[in-house]
């Protein structure tokens, strides 16, 4: 809601002055601002180096929408569920650029995503480079432009 109001104020100022106003004044700090600065500095996109497997049924957050978000943010979609105990999976040499540096999540690059509001619950996975995460986590990450911790989920 706050972002919508700020955007409306910015548009009204532009229309009133008949000149483009400085966007930064009306920009929400946090995620949107971090995203813009990231793009200006040509840094990796939010999910660059991350792979996502979508398991189960997705109703609240449609799977197609989640896939579009993930790919627009630089992530790649897996057609097969990653095997946490596979040597090949665990020796992939990438890190998650936008994870908190003090978190073990910066080494996690493969996510098994499930719909958190459905009855489907995959077996809990948090092994090396493969972790499971609810679909709402993707939305929250995009809104904050950060790979958020999964500890509390």
Could you list the mean pLDDT of each consecutive 10-residue stretch along the chain, which spans 153 residues? 48 70 65 82 91 91 94 94 78 78 82 85 79 93 90 55
In angstroms, the first-to-last Cα distance of the chain is 25
Please tell me the predicted confidence (pLDDT) of residue 1: 36
Residue 58, judged by CB atoms within 10 A of its CB (0-12, 13-18, 19+), counts as buried
Question: What's the pTM value of the predicted model, to 2 decimals?
Answer: 0.77
HEC sequence for 66-113 = HHHHHHHCCCEECCCCCCCCCHHHHCCCCCCCCECCCCHHHHCCEEEE
* 153 is a domain residue: no
Q: How many domains would you assign to the chain? A: 2
* 70 is a domain residue: yes
Containing H/E element for 127? strand 126-127
17 and 87 part of one domain? no
31 and 100 part of one domain? no
- Comparing CA positions, the residue from 71, 41, 33 lying closest to residue 54 is 71
* 7 is a domain residue: yes
Read off the DSSP letter of residue 153. -
Per the document, the length of the chain is: 153
For residue 60, CA distances in Å to 7, 55, 57, 95 come to: 26, 14, 9, 30
Distance separating alpha carbons of residues 66 and 37, to the nearest angstrom: 23
Going across the sheet that includes 51-54, the strands are 76-77, 51-54, 110-114, 130-134, 126-127
24 and 63 part of one domain? no
Do β-strands 130-134 and 51-54 pair in parallel, antiparallel, or remain unpaired? unpaired
Could you tell me the CATH number of the domain that includes residue 76? 3.40.50.10190
Distance separating alpha carbons of residues 47 and 50, to the nearest angstrom: 5
Domain that holds residue 27: 2-40
């Amino acid at each position: 809601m706050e972002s919508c109001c700020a955007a409306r104020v910015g548009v009204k100022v532009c229309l009133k002055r008949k000149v483009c106003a400085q966007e930064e004044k009306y920009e929400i700090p946090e995620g949107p601002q971090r995203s813009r600065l990231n793009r200006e500095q040509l840094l990796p996109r939010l999910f660059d180096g991350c792979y996502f497997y979508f398991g189960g049924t997705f109703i609240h957050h449609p799977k197609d929408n989640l896939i579009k978000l993930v790919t627009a943010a630089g992530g790649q979609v897996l057609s097969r569920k990653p095997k946490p105990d596979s040597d090949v999976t665990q020796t992939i040499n990438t890190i998650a650029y936008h994870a908190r540096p003090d978190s073990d999540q910066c080494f996690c690059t493969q996510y098994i995503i499930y719909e958190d509001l459905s009855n489907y619950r995959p077996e809990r996975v948090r092994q090396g480079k493969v972790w499971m995460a609810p679909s709402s986590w993707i939305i929250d990450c995009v809104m904050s432009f950060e790979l958020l911790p999964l500890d509390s989920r």
